[in-house]
Structure 1
Amino acid sequence: MITEVLDVDTSRRRIVDLTSAVEEFCGSQPDGLCNVFVPHATAGVAIIETGAGSDDDLVDTLERLLPRDGRYRHAHGSPGHGADHVLPGLVSPSVTVPVCDGRPLLGTWQSIVLVDLNRDNPRRSVRLSFVPG
């Protein structure tokens, strides 16, 4: 297995497109699987369309589903931080994508993104792992 860890700053964006980094990581690999994993209790990884408003729609939807208020038992950090700990139940902490001839097999409009609504921790690690097929 081959791995690489990305350091991602989410202080300015709630959705960060990782697609080009994943493509670069997979570029010299044969056929196999690429796993993208975020080892944080308050972030996730998704495959969505970006740039056409879908990324903003995802953030808006998650913020409606997970309001930042005092309803959460997990209550440390900024107000509503408990919502951040529920996020990985809705947006998985990992995705796995097939790779063929060094290219992740994503659909035309698909991008791999980091989803991070947590305002308390803007530094994220993302682990890319490649397993030959």
Structure 2
Amino acid sequence: MTLLSIKYVNGTLEILDQLRLPFETEYIRIENTEDGWRVIKMMQVRGAPAIAMVGCLSLAVELLKSDFCSVPELVTFIHEKLSYLVTARPTAVNMSDSAKTFSRKASELSQSPGITVTDLKNR
């Protein structure tokens, strides 16, 4: 039997609760960045690459469910949520690096001529 530590399909994110292993197999559904922050902080997700993936995917899940009035509002939201996620495990280099890359990319894309909120969210 193979266990996936991270399941992401069509905007739905679940993580394998590392604290329950090896005696139990339980997945935790991540609905937003607050959920992502909590599972990172509580060490329910472990390993630098997994922490970064869960952090960024928790933001992706939240972005898909949220509405924004403008591209600048969306970019500010992305920057704030990524900064927040880094505080869950400040020494997790992969999360910090991914947050910087994600933030930079959002800022760059927001400067594209004719970019819309929907375009930016999809990218």
**Normalising by the residue count of structure 1, what TM-score does the alignment of the two structures yield?**
0.31
Higher helix proportion, which one?
Answer: 2
**Normalising by the residue count of structure 2, what TM-score does the alignment of the two structures yield?**
0.33
Higher relative contact order (CA 8 A, sep 6+): 1
